[in-house]
Structure 1
Amino acid sequence: MRRLAASIAAAALVVTACSSGAGDRPTERARAASSVPQAPTPFVATRDLRPNDGPNILVVTTDDMRWDELRYTPNVRKYVTSRGLLFENSYAPNPLCCPSRASFLTGMYSHNHHVYSHEKPYGFGAFDDHLTVGTVLNQAGYQTALVGKYLNGYGRQPSLVTGASSVTYVPDGWTDWKVSIEHTWPKGSPYVGGTYDYTSFTQNVNGRVVSNRGRYSSDVVGEQVRSLVGRYGKADHPWFIWATPVAPHFGGPGEPDDPPNYRTASGYLSRFQTPARPGWVKGRFDSSLRRAPGVRADGRPEEKDISDKPEFLQKVPEMVGVERQRLLQVARQRAEALYAWDVQFGRIMRTLKKTGQYEHTVVVFTSDNGYFLGEHRQRTGKIKPHEPSLRVPLVVAGPGIPHGVRYAPISTVDLTATIVDLAGAAPLPAQDGRSVVPVFARDRPWDVPVVTEGLQHLDRSHAGGFPQGLTEMGLRTGRYAYFRYSTGEGELYDLFTDPLELRSRYDDPAYASVRRDLTRLWKQYRLCSGDACRAPLPARYVVSDADLAAQVAKDRRARARYYG
C-alpha cells in the first residue's frame, strides 16, 4: 500500500515527461474433458506467494455497456465515481467481446494476440492464455480470481494451449476460476444453458462443471465475488479479482415483453435482442428513459445523408417509427439488467467495508466495448469503429487516487499496463499499452494514438496492408478519427468540428494534407507492437488536456442539440 501511494506521488513529478488459505488451483496447467463432465480432478493449495504490499485490485468489466449508461448504476457512482476518477476518453480498440477481453488479459492489440472475433477460427480457440495478467500478478504475490464470462467459445472450442477440450480447462495464473462455459450438452445431461442464459449460467468452477439453473447470473457472480473477498481478506497477500458479469449483453431466456424483430418494406431485417432481467427490476426506467440515446427527439432521421460512409453502411435504411419504439424497449431492458448487476456491485462494496478492505482496494469499473443504440442508422451492435462502439465507461477509485476527471486517453491495453503497475508486477513480455498511474496525479495530453481494429463481414476485400482476419484498421487521435477498410474505402472525421461523426472528410480536398499525414501514421502504427505502439505522435497532432476537456464539453453540447 505504501508503494502505491509513493508511485502516485512520484508520478506527479514525471507525468509531463512523457499464502495460506489462498484458494485452490489445478495441479496441471490444463485438463481435457469429455462432453459429459467427469468427477472433479484433485486440487492442491496454491504455492507459497511472494510478499507484496500492493493494494487489492477489483476490476469489473461489464459486457457491451455504453459509456453513457453509467447513469443506471447508482452504486458505481456512490462507491467509485464520487471518490475517484472518471476517465472521459476511454476506448476499446477492437470493440467486440472476445478480442477486447483477450487484449485486457495480454495487454496487446488484437493484431498481436490474433483473437479477432467470437467465431472460429478467431475466438477462444485462437487465444494463447498460458501467460496473462492473472499469471504475472500471481507471480508477483497476488491471489487471483476470474469470476463470470471469459472468451466466447470457451467450452465449445478446444484450448490452443492443450489442444484438448476446454470444458474443465483452467489456465495458469488463477487461484480461483469461476467462469461460464458454452457447450452443447448431450440429451439428458444435468447441465444446460451457458454464458448467455441469464437463468442457467453453467460454470467451470476450479475444474468442475457447476449448474446454476434457476439463479440469475448477476446474482451468481456477485455472490461468488463476495465470498472470495471474504476469504482472500483473511490471507497475508493482496488479491486481484476480475469480475465479468454478462449484463447488459442480450441473452435468454426470452420474455413476453421482448421487442420482436422487424422487417422493413425493402426487406431489411432489424433484430432487437435484449437481456433477460429479474422481475423486480422491470419497468424501473420506463418514466425516465423515453427514447434510445441514439434516436432523435424530434423524429427526424438519425443520419439522413450517409453518402460519405462506406458502401456497407450506405445499404442500411433509415429507421421507421416502429423500430424506434422497439429500440426504446432495448434501451430500457439494458438499463434494467445493468441496475440488477449494480445492486450486486453495491453488496460487494459493503462486503469490502465490513471486512476492513475498502480503503485498501483499488476498484475499476469499465466495459469490454460500447454499443450502438440508433446512431448512424445502426439499430444495435458494435464492431464498427465509431464512437458509440469504441467508447467505454471507466471509473477508478482507491488508496491514493484523487477525486476528479481525467481527459487523457486510456485504452483496454493501457488498462492492463495500469493494473500491472499498481500491483508492482513485472510487465507482460509483449505489452503494447502504457500505464496511466501517472495520470492519477496529473492529466496528460493525447500524444499517442489508439489503434482501432475490427473484423466485419464485408462483401469485397482487395486493399493491402491488412493482416488476415482484420477488415478494418484505424487511428483515433485527440482530434481525428481515421479508419480504413479492406474494401479500399475509408472515413476521416474532424472531431473538433464534428464530434458526432456525421460528415466524413476522407475525400474532402480541404483535409487532403491531414489525410496524407494520417495515412503515413496509419502505416506506422497499424501493426505496431511494444514500444512502437507507445511512440508519440508528431507535435501538430498532440492535443493538450485543456483542449481535450473543451472537446468533451463540445461533444456534450452537440449531442444535446442533435438528439434533444
Structure 2
Amino acid sequence: MPKQDSLVSNSKQRFMRRSFVAAMAVVTLSALLAVGERPTAHADPRPNIVVIEIDDMRADELQYLPKTMALLPGAHFTNSVVSASLCCPSRATFLSGQYAMNHKVTDNSMGAHFNTSHTIAAQLHASGYNTTMIGKYLNGYGCAKQTPQGWDNWQALCSNIYGMYKYSIMDNGNQTYYGTNPEDYQTDVLASRASTTIENAASSGNPFFMWVTPTAPHGGTGKRVAPKYATTFKTWKLPSKASFSEANVTDKPAWVQQLKPITVSQRSSITKAEAVRLGMLQSVDDLVEKTVNTLQAKNLMDNTIIVFTSDNGFMRGEHRIKSGKEVSYAESVDVPLIISGPGIQPGYISAMAVNADLAPTIADFAGVTLPWTVDGRSLVPALGALDPWPKRAVLHSIIGDFTNDGGGIGKHPSGTGVTTERFAYFEYSTGEHELYDHTLDPLELNNQAGQPSSSAIENSMQEALALLAVCAGASCQVDVGNVSPTAVASVQCDAYFTCQFDGSKSVDADGAIASWAWDFGDGVSSSEISPLHTFETGGVQTITLSVEDDLGAAASRSLIILSSANSIPVAVGAFDCVDLTCSFSSDASTDADGYLTSFRWTFGDGKSANLASASHAYPSAGTFNVALTVTDNRRGTDKWIGSITVTLPNAPPIATMSVSCVDLLCSFDGTLSTDPDGVVSQWSWDFGDGITSSGDLVEHLYPGPGVYAATLIVYDDLGVPSLVPGMIEVSVPYSPAPASL
C-alpha cells in the first residue's frame, strides 16, 4: 500500500526538516578529482553530469520516490523554486541560467524562438563534453529534424509527447515510433535510452552531460500509469489540510475569491488524478534506479554529478485551485532539488535556490564559464558552506494573462514577485498584493500584505522586487538584508507603583526575537519578557526595553512613568516569654502608603525567621538583643530593636525538717530545707494538732501526750512552694507529775 501524505509535507517543510546545512570539504574541481579512483578510460578528468528533470512534479511528491531518495543521498534543497512555473519558460531558464524576461521564452508557445547557443549544453559541448538530450525539450520546438545547437546526441520526444504509448522520438534526425506494448511505456523507454547512453559513454575519453526529461507525471489525467503500477495507489486518499478548498479566501486576490469551494465530487476527481500522477512517478523512480545502477556497473558513480529536479509544481485543490500551475502559490512554485555526487555530503540545505542557478552550478562543476549574461548563481558554495550563503531574493513571474496555459487554471492576472527562505511576495497586474510568512504560515492561509505588523518586511520585499523585475546578470543577485526587530513595550502599575511590564508583543518581521533586556532606570534590570518591578523612589522613571533578533539586529523602546515618594514603614515588635520560649509579634508595625511585604526577626542567638509572628526557644538563659526588620511594597525598610531576658524554668524548693521534744514541748528545725535555683524564703508549719506556725526554727507545746503528724511546706524566693511537704511523726510521751513530799 502506498503511504499517505504527511501533514508536514507543506511548501516549506517538504523534506521533513528545514534547517540542516550540508557540510562539504571542498566542492571544486580539485576535490572532485581527489574522490575515488577514476575510470582509466577517461582522459578528461572532469565529472560526468546527469540532470533528471521531471514534468510538473510537486516538491512534496518526492516522498513517494523511495528509490530516488535512497540512491541520491546528496544535498536536498528545502527552499528550491522555479522562476516561472510553466514548462517552456522554466526549461529555458534551466538551460540558460536566465529569467524568462531575459531569455524571452515567456509562455509555452515560444520554445522554437529560444536562443539555443546560450545553453549549458552548448557550452559544455564546446568545452569537450559529449552531450545528450533524452525526452521532452521545449514546447513548440516540434519534430524539427535539425538538432539544436550544443547536442551531440538528440533523442527528443516528438509527437504525442504526453501519451505514454503511441508517441515518437526524434533520433538525431530520424523519427522512431512506439506502439502500445508494455515495453513501449514512455518513461521506461527513456530510462533504457539513458542507460544505453551511459554504457556508450563509458568507453569514451570525454566526460558526458545527459539531460533526461520524462513527461511524467504531467497533468495526471487519463490512463497513463504503467501496468505494473496500475493499482498501487488505488486506495490512496488525498490528505486533509486547511489550504485545500480554503474556507476563507477574502484576503486572496479577486480571481481566487471568484473560485467556488471544491465539491465532494471534485475532491474525488482530484484524488484520482493525483493517484495517477503518483503511479506515473513510480516509473520515474525506476528510471532513477536504472540510471544509477548503470553508472555503478560502469564504475562511473565516483565521477558523476546527478541533479534531480522538476520544471514546476502543480496545484491539487489548494486555495480552491483544482489543478494546474503558473500561479504564485507554493505548490506551483516549489520543486524538488537534489544534487548528489562525490564530495557532496548528504543532508538538507535551507539555502534559497532557483532554477536559474542550475546552469551556473553545472558550469562550476565542469570548470567552464558561461559567456552570456547569467541571472542565477552557482550553488556549489552552498553545498559546502564554504562561504556564508546570502539571504537572497529570487524572482517569480507570470507573464501575460493566461486563458489556456497553466494546466487549465483559467484566466488569471499576470504579475511578478519575490521569494526568500521565509517569505513569498507577489504583485498582480490588478494592483493586488500577496505576502506570506512560510515559517508561521506554511500553507499560505493568511495574506499579510497591507498589514501594519508586516510593513517592514513588505517594504523590503518591494525593494527587492523593484530590482529583480528589471535585472540582468549580476544585478539579479539581490540579497535581502536583515530587517531590524520592533520593540513593543507596555506597563501597568498599581497604586503602590508595583509595575507589570510586557515585551511579548515585540516582533521581528523576518526572524525571531532572541533576547529581551529591560533597564528600569533605578539600577535594576531584567532579561525576562514580562518582568514585575516595584519602584522604591518617587519621581520620573524612564524604562527602556531593548530587543535583539536571531541575527543580532537590535531595537529599543522607552517608557516614562511618574511615581510618588515612598513613606518608610514603621517596625514595632512585641514579645512574651515563658521560661526559655518566647513569642514574637509584628502586629503593631505599619506602612502609611502601602503594605508590608516582608518581615525578618533576628533573635540575638544567631537564629532568625522570615515571619510576621514567630516563636523561638532559646538554648540557655540570658539577655539577648532582638531585631525586627519590615519591608514595604516599594522596598522601603525599618528596623525595631529590643532587649529580652530569658530564664530557665524555676525548680521548687525541698522541705526538710527535724524535731526534738522534752515532755510536751517540741522544737522544730526547717533550716535544712533548700532551693536548687534560689533560696528558701518562707516556712509554713502544721503541728498536726490544729496549730500552725511560720519560721525556720519554731517551738510548740502539745496539749498532751500522743502521736502527731507534723508537716512543713517551704517557699522559694519566687513564692513557689515545695512540691512535697516535709512530714514527721511527733511522739509526745506521757510524763506523770512528781509525787508530793
- The TM-score with structure 1 as length reference comes to 0.74
| SS across alignment from 1:484 | strand
Deviation string, structure 1 residues 428-484 (Cα, Å, up to 9, x no partner): 41111111111221284452211001135369xxxxxxxxx9921101122321101
* Correspondence list, 1:115-514, <5 A: 115-119=105-109, 123-155=110-142, 167-181=144-158, 193-214=159-180, 215-250=184-219, 273-274=221-222, 276-287=224-235, 289-291=236-238, 293=239, 295-296=240-241, 302-442=245-385, 444-455=388-399, 457=401, 471-514=414-457
Paired residue type of 1:241: M
Q: Residues 399 and 473 from structure 1, CA distance in 2 versus in 1: closer, same or farther, beyond 3 angstroms?
A: same
Separation in structure 2 between the aligned mates of residue 532 and residue 92 of structure 1, nearest angstrom: 18
Which region of structure 1 is more displaced relative to structure 2, 371-380 or 439-448? 439-448
Separation in structure 2 between the aligned mates of residue 116 and residue 239 of structure 1, nearest angstrom: 30
The CA deviation at 1:508 is 1.8
Separation in structure 1 between the aligned mates of residue 459 and residue 123 of structure 2, nearest angstrom: 41
The CA deviation at 1:497 is 2.2
The CA deviation at 1:387 is 0.7
| SS across alignment from 2:364 | helix
Separation in structure 1 between the aligned mates of residue 30 and residue 477 of structure 2, nearest angstrom: 21
Deviation string, structure 1 residues 369-396 (Cα, Å, up to 9, x no partner): 1111111111111110111111001112
Corresponding position of 1:97: 87
Task: Give the CA RMSD over aligned residues.
Answer: 2.7
Q: Residues 378 and 470 from structure 1, CA distance in 2 versus in 1: closer, same or farther, beyond 3 angstroms?
A: closer
Whether 1:516 and 2:482 are equivalent positions in the alignment is no
Corresponding position of 1:264: none
Contact residue 140 and residue 424 of structure 1 kept, 8 A: no
Higher-Rg structure is 2
Contact residue 445 and residue 543 of structure 1 kept, 8 A: no
| SS across alignment from 1:399 | coil
Unaligned ranges ≥5, structure 1:
11-21, 23-48, 156-165, 182-192, 252-272, 460-468, 552-564
| SS across alignment from 2:479 | coil
Q: Residues 318 and 544 from structure 1, CA distance in 2 versus in 1: closer, same or farther, beyond 3 angstroms?
A: closer
Separation in structure 2 between the aligned mates of residue 169 and residue 543 of structure 1, nearest angstrom: 50
Whether 1:58 and 2:47 are equivalent positions in the alignment is no
Separation in structure 1 between the aligned mates of residue 215 and residue 477 of structure 2, nearest angstrom: 32
The CA deviation at 1:70 is 1.2
Contact residue 65 and residue 368 of structure 1 kept, 8 A: yes
Paired residue type of 2:443: L
Deviation string, structure 1 residues 180-230 (Cα, Å, up to 9, x no partner): 12xxxxxxxxxxx42112102212111122212331110111111111100
Separation in structure 1 between the aligned mates of residue 148 and residue 261 of structure 2, nearest angstrom: 46
Separation in structure 2 between the aligned mates of residue 502 and residue 250 of structure 1, nearest angstrom: 25
- The TM-score with structure 2 as length reference comes to 0.57
Contact residue 383 and residue 455 of structure 1 kept, 8 A: no
Size of the aligned set, in residue pairs, is: 446
Greater share of helix = 1
For residue 69 of structure 1, the aligned residue among 50, 61, 73 is 61
Separation in structure 2 between the aligned mates of residue 475 and residue 519 of structure 1, nearest angstrom: 8
| SS across alignment from 1:99 | helix
Greater share of strand = 2
- Higher RCO (C-alpha under 8 Å, 6+ residues apart): 1
Paired residue type of 1:62: I
Q: Residues 475 and 62 from structure 1, CA distance in 2 versus in 1: closer, same or farther, beyond 3 angstroms?
A: same
Contact residue 392 and residue 480 of structure 2 kept, 8 A: yes
Separation in structure 2 between the aligned mates of residue 543 and residue 226 of structure 1, nearest angstrom: 46
Contact residue 133 and residue 428 of structure 1 kept, 8 A: no
Separation in structure 1 between the aligned mates of residue 231 and residue 455 of structure 2, nearest angstrom: 50
Contact residue 140 and residue 426 of structure 1 kept, 8 A: no
The CA deviation at 1:4 is 7.8
Q: Residues 53 and 8 from structure 1, CA distance in 2 versus in 1: closer, same or farther, beyond 3 angstroms?
A: closer
Q: Residues 285 and 486 from structure 1, CA distance in 2 versus in 1: closer, same or farther, beyond 3 angstroms?
A: same
Contact residue 250 and residue 276 of structure 1 kept, 8 A: no
Separation in structure 1 between the aligned mates of residue 30 and residue 420 of structure 2, nearest angstrom: 26
Separation in structure 2 between the aligned mates of residue 275 and residue 67 of structure 1, nearest angstrom: 23
Paired residue type of 2:173: G
Separation in structure 2 between the aligned mates of residue 387 and residue 274 of structure 1, nearest angstrom: 25
